[in-house]
Amino acid sequence: MSDPVLQLACAALVLFVPVGVQQGLRPSATPRILIIAAVSLVAAVASLVADVAVGLGVDVAASVLDASFAGAIAATVALVVAQRLGTAGGAVFGLSWSLVVFQPVAAAVLDGVPSLVQVAFGAIDYGGVLASHVAAGSALLALSLLPVARPRDRAHQAESAVRVIERVSWGRGVMGASLVIAGGAAWLLGVDRVLTVASGRTLVNALAGMALAALLWIVVEKIAVDRVAPEGLIAGSLLGWGAIGAGVPYLSPLALIAAVAGGTAAAVGAVAQARARGAGVLRWGSGSMLVAVAVGSIVMTLLADRFGLAEMATITFTVEQLTATIVVAVVAGTGGIVCGLLAWGVSRWAIPDSN
C-alpha cells in the first residue's frame, strides 16, 4: 500500500504542470481553458476506471495519483496542440493520445516491480519519463510532420511566434518554470508511492536538476542564437525533468550536473538548428524533449550509483536503455499520427469561434 498523504499531496502538485506550461504559450480564452480542463478530467477518470479494471483500484491514493498524472499530461499536450489546431483539435488530440498512447505506456513503465519495460528491455525508468516525455514528445513530433495545419494558421505561424515572445514576461516565465518544477518534483517523488531512504535524494535532485536546466537553457540560448526569451525558463525546466527522470534517485551530484548539462545543451543546440531551418515551435519543442531524455539516459547508464559503468563494466545497459526509448518513441509516434489525423478532421469541422 502507498503512503496516502504523500500520494494525495503529489497528486495535487502535479496539476501545476499544465498551468506552468500555459504561462509560456499564447494566452488562452476562458472557453479553451474550460474545454482543456474537461479533457484533463476525462483522462483522469479513464485512468481510475483502468486501475479498477486491472485490480489496482483498491489503493485509492495510488489510483488518484495515477489519475492526476494522466490528467496533467493530457491537459499539457492538449494546450500545446491547441496552439496549432485550435481548441477542438487540441482537445481531441490530448484526450485520444492519453487513452491510446500515454496510459498504456505509463502502465508499462510505472506499474509493477519490475515493470514491463524492465522485463522486456532491461531498461530502468524510475521517473516514468518514457511516458511523460518520450511518449508525448514523439507524438507531438509526428504531428508536427503532418501537413495538418489549416492554411490560415500557416500564414500566421511566424507572426504568432513573435507575439509569444512579446507576450511572455519574465514574471510569467519565472512563475511558469516554478510551477513546472513543483509539479515535476511531485511527479518524480510520487512515483515511488512511499517515502524511502532515497526520497530525500530524489526530491533534491528533482528540484536542483530542473532549476539548473532552466538557467542553462537561458545561457545556452544566449550563446547559440544571441537572444533570451523568458519562456526558455519553462522549456528548460521541462527538459531538466526529462534528462534526470529515468534515474533520479541514483544520480550523484556529478551525474546530475552531467545529465542536466548534457541533455539541456544538446537539446538547445537542436532547437537552434531547427529554428535556423525554419522549423516551427511544435517541432523543435517536441524534438528537444527526446534529445534531453536520450542524453540524460546515456549519462545515467554511465555514471549512476549502483548500476553505472563503474559497477557494471559494460555498455549493455546503455544499449538496453536506448532500445526502450526508441521502441516507445516509434509506438508513440505512430499513435501521434493517428491522433493527429483525427484531431485535424475535428478541427476542420469545428466552427472557427470554438477554436
- Please state the rounded mean pLDDT for residues 323-327: 96
- Calpha distance 301→36 (Å, rounded): 37
- Per the CB < 8 A criterion, the answer to whether 146 and 337 are in contact is yes
The grid coordinates of residue 297 equal: 539516459
- Please state the rounded mean pLDDT for residues 331-345: 95
- Per the CB < 8 A criterion, the answer to whether 238 and 22 are in contact is no
Average pLDDT, the chain: 88
Measure CA 228 to chain center.
22
Nearest to 319 by CA among 122, 125, 138, 127: 122
Q: What was the pLDDT predicted at 347?
A: 86
Please tell me the chain's helix, strand, coil percentages from 3-state DSSP, rounded to the nearest 5. 80, 0, 20
Give the position of cell 509506438.
331
- Please state the rounded mean pLDDT for residues 199-215: 96
- Helix crossing, 60-97 with 316-349: angle to 10°? 60
pLDDT band at 226 (very low <50, low <70, confident <90, very high): confident
Measure CA 279 to chain center.
20
DSSP 99: I
The grid coordinates of residue 259 equal: 545529465
In which element (H, E) is residue 164 found? helix 157-167
Measure CA 28 to chain center.
20
User: pLDDT digit string (tens) for 230-286?
Assistant: 988 999 999 999 999 999 999 999 999 999 998 888 777 767 666 666 656 678 788
Question: 290 or 264, which is more confident?
Answer: 290
Q: 111 pLDDT exceeds 80?
A: yes
Q: 191 pLDDT exceeds 60?
A: yes
Which residues, 6+ apart, have CB-to-CB distance to 230 below 8 Å? 24, 168, 169, 170, 172, 173, 174
User: pLDDT digit string (tens) for 122-168?
Assistant: 999 999 999 999 999 999 999 998 886 543 444 344 434 444 444 68
- Calpha distance 134→136 (Å, rounded): 5
Give the position of cell 498551468.
19
Q: What was the pLDDT predicted at 156?
A: 41
- Calpha distance 299→291 (Å, rounded): 12
- Please state the rounded mean pLDDT for residues 313-330: 92
Q: What was the pLDDT predicted at 227?
A: 80
Q: What was the pLDDT predicted at 275?
A: 63
**H helices within the chain, ranges in order?**
4-14, 16-22, 30-53, 60-97, 103-110, 116-121, 129, 135-145, 151-154, 157-167, 170-190, 199-225, 231-245, 253-276, 281-303, 309-312, 316-349
Question: 352 or 10, which is more confident?
Answer: 10
Q: What was the pLDDT predicted at 69?
A: 97
- Per the CB < 8 A criterion, the answer to whether 257 and 205 are in contact is no
Give the position of cell 517515502.
195
Nearest to 188 by CA among 172, 173, 208, 174: 208
Q: What was the pLDDT predicted at 274?
A: 66
DSSP 262: H
Question: E strands along 45-100, which residues?
Answer: none
